[in-house]
Amino acid sequence: NAGVTQTPKFQVLKTGQSMTLQCAQDMNHEYMSWYRQDPGMGLRLIHYSVGAGITDQGEVPNGYNVSRSTTEDFPLRLLSAAPSQTSVYFCASSPGQVDTQYFGPGTRLTVL
């Protein structure tokens, strides 16, 4: 199993550009999440999904969209990038509602 994969590993955007961060898992997990990691702030939840077709907002959803058309994929869209979105983004999946989360390797995004 590849586990949780994320692409790209690095990305530089200009303010106002849009892009999609890809996340896929091959463990047949129902639960998936997107986090951003900023120094001194730990991980903050952006959006999450409890199954295909179901998504919800986390702590910091503004400026981001998600969709979950399949169990495997959970892309994160930045609609109009801003410097405040410079961060490391992690995707995670979990087999159960209160179970261990498995993390992807992360995407380091810089917005100029």
Partner 1 sequence: AQSVSQHNHHVILSEAASLELGCNYSYGGTVNLFWYVQYPGQHLQLLLKYFSGDPLVKGIKGFEAEFIKSKFSFNLRKPSVQWSDTAEYFCAVNAGNYGQNFVFGPGTRLSVLP
Q: Where on the chain is the footprint of partner 1 (CB under 8 A)?
A: 31, 33, 35, 40-45, 48-50, 56, 58, 90, 92, 94, 96-98, 100-106
- Smallest gap from Cβ 94 to partner 1, in A, equals 7
Question: What is the DSSP code (8-state) at residue 62?
Answer: T
Give dist(CA 97, CA 101) in Å, integer. 10
Q: Which is nearer to partner 1, 14 or 40 (CB)?
A: 40
Work out the number of other CB atoms within 10 angstroms of the CB of residue 13: 19
CB-wise, 31 or 85, nearer to partner 1? 31
Nearer to partner 1, 9 or 14 (CB): 9
Residue 20: Cβ within 10 Å count: 13
